[in-house]
Amino acid sequence: MVSMTTPVAPVAPVVRGFVFRPISRQRWRVIDRRGRVIGHLRWEHCSEGLRFHAERFDLVRAQLRPLGSFWTAREAVDCLVYLR
């Protein structure tokens, strides 16, 4: 018998110096101490576990641009910080 379960959303990450505001079921807006949006963090369940994707809005294309996939929210936020 195959079990079909819907992935449960993780609790918003805690990364010192940043606030995470939910904007959809699988995405948070990442805000720094100054109140500036530095990007977005999207999560997904995969066969190896939970993955976090760093994304930034591209004004020219009017869409989110993927920056990388990471095993921890901290790594994804570091990517957003270093690729400013």
Q: Report percent pLDDT > 90 for the chain.
A: 75
26 located within any domain: yes
Count CB-CB contacts under 10 A for residue 23. Answer: 12
Owning domain of residue 46: 19-82
Q: What is the pLDDT of residues 61-78, one digit of tens each?
A: 999 999 999 999 999 999
Residue 51 has pLDDT above 70, yes or no: yes
Count CB-CB contacts under 10 A for residue 77. Answer: 24
Token pair for residue 82? 């270093």
24 located within any domain: yes
Number of domains in the chain: 1
39 located within any domain: yes
